[in-house]
Amino acid sequence: MQVVHVASEVFPFSRSGGLGDVLGVLPAVQARLGAEVTVVSPWYADVPDEVAEVWRGTLPDVPGQPVLPPVRVGEVRRGGVRFVFVGLPFFDRPGLYHPDDVWRFSQFGRAVLPVLAGLGVVPDVLHGHDWQAGLVVARARLAGVRGVFSVHNLQYQGRWNLRDGAPWTGLPDWTLTPEGLEFHGDVNLMKAGLVFASQVTTVSPTYAHEITTPEFGEGLEGLMTRLRAEGRLSGILNGLDQERWDPRTDQDVPSFSDAAGKAAAVAALRAEFGLDGAPILASVSRLADQKGMDLLIGALPQLVQDWNVVVLGGGDPALEAGLREWAAHPRVVFAQGMNEPLAHRIYAGADAFAMPSRFEPCGLSQMIAMRYGTLPVVRLTGGLVDTVPGDVGFTFGEASVAALAGACREARVAFEDRAGWAARAERAMNLTFSWEGPARSYLGLYARVLSSPPAPLTGLDAQGHA
């Protein structure tokens, strides 16, 4: 089976969060299971030099569509996977994401299939990830290629006004209707993937249900409900790179393999930041409303009575400012930005890990924390429901300061029973979040897509377009 993944980021070449982590592991596991796997991503200025240029030039013009600028194509093979990087001039700038991303990824979406054809890659299934790949899934469907589309975060949809955005897509007018890409007067590239894919997945079973509701559906709950009714929406829980996140082999922390051995990592983190003898509650997160970091800041007056609090992350300037102000407190540490070695030390050296997310499609941090024997305190939403057992972590339902503080207080009381806490940590460390199960699930989904008739383009087929 020839599988092509398309995504805006892929670890270790480009990464801003969980999407890049998924694309760094899932394709390699699928390759080990026998698939021929290619991953296509933009060639950003920050992509490492190991990527070798294999072609540059102009792509064939398509009548009636805007002309694409010259493209350069890079390639590297790693872990049995062929990584292809599409270099367009407007991706040659620092960083991954910018205000003109709908335009940039529209052009990327038009370039992917011609680049694959030029390289001789003929996909059986094209698997697009999040809105940046939505247009590729739509164009693949119109070219007769079956598509699977994964929603990693429905909040970000790739919207732009229809007048300007429609020509960018290069799609025929009949696709730019409310049954297609149009959404409240905008082009919506997330919707392109949803409508044109044969199957849609999310990154946890609970999130697949949540996005059919007004609370989590981001205005697309009607479409999601229809996809579920048609048997085209499912949730496949993400795995974890268990080689990258392994306390026995992690070179950034004192090695340990059980809850008792974790003490050295806790002592090292305590010494690094000059913390007192109270247990350590940590968070490694984007600082964003989604992640509930305002709730964590609001709960700090209560938390510092029980815990040292260590936060690593960056994002919303107001949240950063709030944490910087609190960092003057002797029990609060705020490290701004993202620092992977420090993240490893925090996961290993904390006693508990806070994730007060308003919504969490899957979440990897809670899996990583448990891998290191750090017990999660999480809100009951999305993938946090699917991954944190009740006899391991501590949970709360309401997205409020009081609910978070109450769950952290429950954890602090439990911490006093050191034998009971160690038993929880042991259970956490023995959980398995291997990627092999999800990889097999995706391969099975691809096989069903290939053996079934093409999914109907509901509302579009009535116009005679399939």
In the annotated binding site for ADP-alpha-D-glucose, the residues are 15
DSSP H helices in 119-274: 134-142, 162-169, 189-196, 205-210, 221-229, 263-273
Asked whether the beta carbons of 58 and 70 are under 8 A apart, the reply is: yes
SS3 percent helix, strand, coil of the chain, rounded to 5, is 40, 20, 40
Where do runs of H (alpha helix) occur along 292-332? 293-306, 317-326
Are the CB atoms for 292 and 358 separated by under 8 Å?
yes
Which runs of E-coded beta strand occur in 58-169? Answer: 71-78, 81-87, 125-129, 146-151, 159-161
Q: Do 399 and 356 touch, CB atoms closer than 8 A?
A: yes
Beta pairing partners, 394:
377
- The number of angstroms, rounded, from the C-alpha of 42 to the middle of its chain's C-alpha atoms is 17
Q: Whole-angstrom Cα distance, residue 222 to residue 316? A: 30
Question: Which residue ranges make up the annotated binding site?
Answer: 15
| Dist CA 57 CA 87 (whole Å) | 11
How many CB atoms are closer than 10 A to CB 62?
A: 12
Dihedral sign, CA of 163, 168, 169, 173? positive
Residue owning tokens 């042991």: 426
Q: What is the largest CA-CA distance in the chain?
A: 72
